[in-house]
Amino acid sequence: MPIVKCPNCGKGTEYEGNEFRPFCSERCRLLDFGAWADEQYSLPVEGSDLSEEDIEEIERSLEEKTKE
């Protein structure tokens, strides 16, 4: 049977027949779920800061739409 490392603690555990896979135990599974629920896992986001010109153009567009 293949042995995999638990993504939480790194302990080697059998993959097949393990009800908590890929984790080694229910504890590691719950710790991982808690981290996910607390939003500790996230991808970096590139910020797209708007320039003053962009903001003015958006405001003009909104004003034109409200006039119609």
16 close to 1: Cβ distance less than 8 angstroms: yes
Pair of tokens at residue 8 = 């939480």
Q: What pLDDT is attached to residue 65?
A: 82
Considering the entire predicted model, what is its pTM?
Answer: 0.57
Task: Evaluate if residue 43 carries a pLDDT over 90.
Answer: no
CATH of domain 1-41: 3.30.50.10
Domain boundaries, the chain: 1-41
- What is the number of other CB atoms lying within 10 angstroms of the CB of residue 29? 18
Q: Report the pLDDT averaged over residues 38-52.
A: 82
- Inter-CA distances, 37 with 2, 7, 30, 66, Å: 30, 16, 10, 41
- Tell me the DSSP string of 21-48: TTSSSHHHHHHHHHHHHTT---------
